Each structure stands twice: as C-alpha cells, then as structure tokens.
Structure 1
Amino acid sequence: MNCPCCSGKSYEECCKPYHAGEKYAPTAEALMRSRFSAFAIPNGEYLMETTLPEKRKFHNKEDLQEWGEINQWTKLEIIKTPALNQVEFKAYYNDEDGKPQIHHEFSTFKKVDERWYYVSGKFLE
C-alpha cells in the first residue's frame, strides 16, 4: 500500500514505524506527514500522542478519530518548511457529503527530548 502522506514510499517504509511506536519522526515535516497518514488511516491515538502534552487539553482523541473516519483523505501537499519547526501544507479530502475540501494550514512544531510534537496551526485561505 502506498503511504497516504504522498511520499511515494510504501506505508510500511514510511509512516507505519511512527504509528507503531517503533521510532519517532526525525523532522517536523516527517511528523506532519505521519499525522496526515494518521487522519487517513485513521489513528486518533497517534494524533493525540504527537500533540504537545500541554496542548492536549484542547483536543480530544475521539474527535480526531472521528474527523479521520468521516472524511476521505486524498492528498497531502507540503507547500514550504520555512524553519525547522514550521510546515505549511494543504491536506485534500472529501467531506462526509463527498464534497472536495482543502485544509490549508501553517503548523508549528516543537522538539522535546529528541521527539517532535504538533503545537498549533493557523488556518490559511
């Protein structure tokens, strides 16, 4: 199976080791890709685990899981990574009504004890 993150690699060679807890994403971009794949699979637990601990109170594993389940995630496009801890991306998906959507976000990440975490995102038009 091709990895949902659009890396061109197989899921087993790309995001699966992160999802399985075998290793941590080495960069903010790799974490972003693995989080997109976690929405596509879906894997709400991984999404919570990769959110900065002090930011988890603003998220809910069940809501993240449901958002992954009700949408069909079709493509991830990395626009730019202006800094080591920042990624601008577009996530393409079809919503629960089958209507194509684009989630355009500028995300910030933080590395703590050799592990990257999602901190926050700013939605872009």
Structure 2
Amino acid sequence: MDAMPTPTLSCPCGRSEPYEKCCGRFHAGTAAAPTAEALMRSRYSAFVKQDAGYLLRTWHPRTRPARLDLDAGMRWTGLEILGTADGSAFHATGTVTFRASYRGGSLHERSRFERVDGAWVYVDGEFLD
C-alpha cells in the first residue's frame, strides 16, 4: 500500500497557499515581502510560529525593541485584514488595519509600515476598539 502524501498546511496568515510558498519564504530569507500587507501577514505568521528573530529583523530600527519575549502560551487563531492604505511597490509608506484573533480574545490594530533600503518594515501600531 502506498503511503498517503503528507497534507500541506495552509499558511497561518490566512492565505490558502502552503506556508513554505507564502510567509515561510519570507521567514527563511529567500524572498522579501513585496507589500506592507504581505509583511503584516508574514509578521502575524511569525507570531504564530514564535519566530522572534524575523519579527525583530522586520521592525524599523528607530522603533525596534532591544529584545522580544514571546508568550509561548499564546495561541493565535486567525488574521483578518480590514483595510490597507498605500503600501504597494509604488509607495514608501503604508498602513494595514487588521484583527488578529487569539484564544480568549482579539487584537485590533492599525499598523504603520515604511521602506528601509527598499524593504518593508513595521514601524508601530495604534490599538483600535
């Protein structure tokens, strides 16, 4: 009997693509997020995967904390992009408004992004609700 192929899990960011072809390539450093929204999605996936290194690498140098301690007990359950402004290949800045759900609640934020040396980075966010 042939072994069943291992199912490829969709990316935590909510896209139907497999993690390796979606946010995984950004986490691995083999590609850069082309838009502010793609970076937002990849950062959410990094929180799901507990990848503090990626989160720090994609944080603007002027607002980046010296270290990031992630809560190992946090269980993120979904990401909903509520709106974007600018943040495409033709912009230097952009915002992404989103709701990230976790076991027991959700986080509603408008995040600001800028390009540094051509790459999108997270600047800061404003909590909503």
Scaled by the length of structure 1, what TM-score is found? Answer: 0.88
Greater percentage in helix: 1
1:70-105, Cα deviation, whole Å (9 max, x unpaired): 2111100000002321000000011xxxxx211000
Percent of pairs with identical residues: 45
Q: CA deviation at 1:49?
A: 0.5
- In the alignment, the residues of structure 2 paired with residue 41 and residue 114 of structure 1 have an alpha-carbon distance, to the nearest angstrom, of 25
Paired AA for residue 84 in structure 2? T
Matched positions, count: 115
- Counterpart of 2:100 in structure 1 is 91
Paired AA for residue 24 in structure 1? A
- In structure 2, runs of 5+ residues without a counterpart are 1-8, 88-93
Q: CA deviation at 1:37?
A: 0.2
1:3-38, Cα deviation, whole Å (9 max, x unpaired): 000011110110001000111100000000000000
- Counterpart of 1:97 in structure 2 is none
Does 2:115 match 1:111? yes
Does 2:43 match 1:35? yes
Structure 1 residues 58-97: aligned runs within 5 Å: 60-61=67-68, 63=69, 66-67=70-71, 69-84=72-87, 85-94=94-103
- Counterpart of 1:7 in structure 2 is 15
- In structure 1, runs of 5+ residues without a counterpart are 95-99
RMSD of aligned residue pairs (Cα, Å): 1.1
- Counterpart of 2:106 in structure 1 is 102
Paired AA for residue 71 in structure 1? M
- In the alignment, the residues of structure 1 paired with residue 17 and residue 106 of structure 2 have an alpha-carbon distance, to the nearest angstrom, of 23
- 1:50 aligns with one of 43, 49, 58: 58
Scaled by the length of structure 2, what TM-score is found? Answer: 0.85
